[in-house]
Structure 1
Amino acid sequence: MRTVCFYFQVHQPFRIKPYRFFDIGEDHYYWDDYLNRNVVRKVAQKCYLPMNALLLELIHKYEGKFKVAFSISGTCLDQFEAYAPDVLQSFQQLVATGHVELLNETYSHSLAALKSKEEFSELVKKHQDKIKDLFNGYTPKVFRNTELIYSDQIGAMVADLGYDAILTEGAKHVLGWKSPNYVYSNAINPDLKVLLKNFRLSDDIAFRFSNKTWADFPLTTDKFVAWLNAIPKEEQVVNLFMDYETFGEHQWAETGIFEFMRHLPEAILKGSNFSFSTPSEVAKGAAAVSKIHVSTPISWADEERDLTAWLGNDMQDEAFDRLFELERMVKKIDDVEIKRDWEYLQTSDHFYYMCTKFFSDGSVHEYFSPYDTPYDAFINYMNVLSDFILRVKAKLAETEKVTV
């Protein structure tokens, strides 16, 4: 089996509104509805709607020979329901073709796998339920953790939840001389297949496509197929994993990114011996060549492919630790708004905005952040968290008083 596996991440966080120190104890609503709606509608027009229409066209044109997979975060699905029902409907149409696979992740795009097995499992179950509710009973078989974060222990947790496979980064420092173009298995539970992103070919599309200083600019379908054909024949699977916003948002329509994707399936199907498969098809159809050992968590972010985009400095660690100190208290409280805010505050983006990395990856972090500086992001988040702590303690005291 020589196959290409396209996977797209679809995610939008609930961004926090400007929240001052003087709002603590006075204002208990944290979310910037105006900004969130505007971002979703903008990306819908530039990416989601035109790209979904193109994929639907390609799936019909090639009668199911072209396939893709998505993981759509729960926070994104919530915003589709609130601000972009037309986008949600277009994803539902894609899934209804039977040639688009949906993956599970944590509902709130959380980093819970690094802190709490219980919270991680609850968020995964909530995402399962949301997918089942919105997509006609669909039940995913493959898991994609937030930011492709993976370790042996995280893989074992995912295996315990009943998944067939997990996606992660083909990090050089983990693979060494090995290739990402094979199926591997979890080091603790070998029943879980591990699919690794081919970061070079993925990033050629996601990051370098419009870079005129890139030695291989412009990227054409013929050139891309030639690279696929140059892969040793014993290497069976090329996993192309990327943010869905690559199409139209990060790489504007004017770059030719949509036309590239329009012609890529035909170029691959006619010009190579590669087919297209979904992650579950890859996991089912290819045997694992060996276990992959990942003792320290990896991700798909930055040059290091580690956790430092989210948990790399004192601000990030302080915010993350303070948030999860509340877990036991929150679980004792039966309150819809507190539960919602607890989950939305876990979204990885909030910690990403606090990143102080510079040099090669600094501009990428600035591009995604609504804040002027990482310090502004930290202060705003901690102001909100301070109010949330007061609410949790007050609600818990009220709950315990009623119980007594």
Structure 2
Amino acid sequence: MKAICFYFQIHQPFRLKRYRFFDIGNDHYYYDDFANDDIITRIAHRSYIPAAEALLRMIENTGGKFRCALSITGTALEQCEQYVPEFIDLLKKLADTGNVEFLAETYAHSLSSLIDPEEFAAQVRAHDEKINELFGQKPKVFRNTELVYCDEMAPMIYDMGYKGCITEGAKHILGWKSPNYVYSAASCPKLKLLLKNDKLSDDITFRFSNPEWDAYPLTADKYMDWIASTPAEEQVINLFMNLETFGEMQPRESGIFQFLEALPRFAAERGIDFWTPSEVVSKFKAVDSLSVLHPISWADEARDTSAWLGNKLQNEAFNKLYSVAERVRLCSDRRLKQDWQYLQGSDHFFYMSTKHMNDGAVHAMFSPYETPFQAFTNYMNVLADFIVRVEEQYPLSIENEELNSLLTTIRNQATEIEVLNKEVASMRNNLEHLNEEHATRQAVAEGKQAEKPAKKACKTAKKTAATKKPAAKKTTASKTKDK
């Protein structure tokens, strides 16, 4: 039995407006609302909505045999709720079918897993809560931002309650092995790994409408022939891609939607099923362990994290941002915490990439800036203002060790206060019970005192009644005599 595991990614960052040096300290709103509204509305109507409608038809037309997964960031969900709520309604319909699984990931599409485990766990929890709130599902399989993964992350992911993790089937990690199997993490054998088949995924994402491609045009029956021709013992073909592939990266005119909807028919002819990631994890055993010593991702030829952290600009911005992480966690300012999430989006660092040649073209395609240096300057101006606001609450003059000590003291005090509050509540309950018992006893005593004169009066009345003889009644005869 061979199965296809489809998952579609949806993400949109909160893009920053042009923020000048002179705005620092004067303007605390950082976002380009017009661009955010325009971009997600355009993409939703060209891609997300028609693609979701196609998935609904595929589920209906196959009698529920078509199954897939969606991975949607918290920032994308927020923008959809604000600008295209009709898409949220479609996602709820997909969730209600029971054939669509929602995956876990970081709320803000951040790279916190590479630098701050506490922030990483907090964002994943926040994302799970959002998914459960909107779609009534608790994610079971984890997909990290940009498919970033390494051995160090595996125990954290498993400890958060996930049985499986999705990542890239990077050639330098697999070697001679195939991505079409389930593997286990070398550092956490209980965590199963699902690896993207990048060749078959990219055939749809990047090459589908390219007339210079030697396999052009790609049809659904040809594509299923490729999958069916893989070795019989290979268990699962993981096809991972952005939902924007359908209608945005590959325009409607290319026939991409017809291609998508035809896949289940030709899969059924070849005995190929569609499974969700959690079904794959539960049904297949790991054939081997996989060790990933250094972080991998889906991006560029190297399949590493250099697309986001490959130059000095990116690392300077990244390290500066997370230098105030402890202070932000201490504060209770909701607006500050929201900005903290939005500024962690990996897109901001992606725009700063200075890679050239083919990789550079991909980076430039997604960037709203003319140059990586412009992206860096704009971001650092925003970050400077953000740090000023953080410093107003927790001065940067306090060293991290001292801050950690203060944090420990605050937590200990909070625990002590909680214990004292419980003791006060217990004493208050006891006092209330004592007052109730005292009131009851007093009421009983007062009742007894009132009963004594009443009983005495009753006895006196009985004695008086007994000493008086009742007058005899006159008969009719005696009444006549009297007359």
Q: TM-score range, shorter-chain basis?
A: over 0.9
- CA offset digits 1:275-320 (Å, max 9, x no partner): 0000000000000001100000000011111001000000000000
Moved over 2 A (4+): 395-398
Equivalence for 1:201: 200
Q: Within 2, Cα distance between the matches of 1:155 and 1:244?
A: 27
Corresponding letter in the other structure for 1:203: D
- CA offset digits 1:34-92 (Å, max 9, x no partner): 10010010001101111111110110110111011011000001101111110111111
Equivalence for 2:8: 8
Q: CA deviation at 1:154?
A: 1.2
Q: Within 2, Cα distance between the matches of 1:81 and 1:258?
A: 25
Matched, 1:116 2:116: yes
RMSD (CA atoms):
1.2
Q: Within 2, Cα distance between the matches of 1:322 and 1:269?
A: 52
Corresponding letter in the other structure for 1:236: Q
Q: Within 2, Cα distance between the matches of 1:365 and 1:94?
A: 32
SS of aligned partner of 2:167: strand
Equivalence for 1:256: 255
SS of aligned partner of 2:95: helix
- CA offset digits 1:19-46 (Å, max 9, x no partner): 0011111100001111001001000110
Q: CA deviation at 1:273?
A: 2.3
Corresponding letter in the other structure for 1:211: N
Q: CA deviation at 1:396?
A: 2.4
Q: Within 1, Cα distance between the matches of 2:329 and 2:49?
A: 38
Q: CA deviation at 1:397?
A: 5.1
SS of aligned partner of 1:190: strand
SS of aligned partner of 1:191: strand
SS of aligned partner of 2:101: strand
Q: Within 1, Cα distance between the matches of 2:22 and 2:91?
A: 42
Matched, 1:217 2:216: yes
Equivalence for 2:180: 181
- CA offset digits 1:140-163 (Å, max 9, x no partner): 100000000000111221011110
Q: CA deviation at 1:219?
A: 0.6
SS of aligned partner of 2:307: coil
What TM-score, normalized to structure 2? Answer: 0.81
Q: Within 2, Cα distance between the matches of 1:13 and 1:220?
A: 33
Equivalence for 1:41: 41
Q: CA deviation at 1:217?
A: 0.7
Matched, 1:160 2:131: no
Paired residues, what number? 398
Gaps of 5+ in 2: 397-402, 404-409, 411-483
- CA offset digits 1:337-358 (Å, max 9, x no partner): 1100011100000000000111
Equivalence for 1:328: 326
Q: CA deviation at 1:268?
A: 1.0
Corresponding letter in the other structure for 1:210: S
Q: CA deviation at 1:168?
A: 0.2
Q: Within 2, Cα distance between the matches of 1:255 and 1:156?
A: 43
Q: CA deviation at 1:327?
A: 0.4
Q: Which has the higher helix share?
A: 2
Corresponding letter in the other structure for 1:365: H
Equivalence for 2:83: 83
What TM-score, normalized to structure 1? Answer: 0.97
Corresponding letter in the other structure for 1:315: L
Q: Which has the larger radius of gyration?
A: 2
Counterparts in 2 of 1:217-296, with a 5 A limit? Answer: 217-270=216-269, 272-296=270-294
Q: What percent identity do the matched residue pairs reach? A: 54
Q: Within 2, Cα distance between the matches of 1:290 and 1:283?
A: 14
Corresponding letter in the other structure for 2:157: V
Equivalence for 2:18: 18
Q: CA deviation at 1:223?
A: 1.2
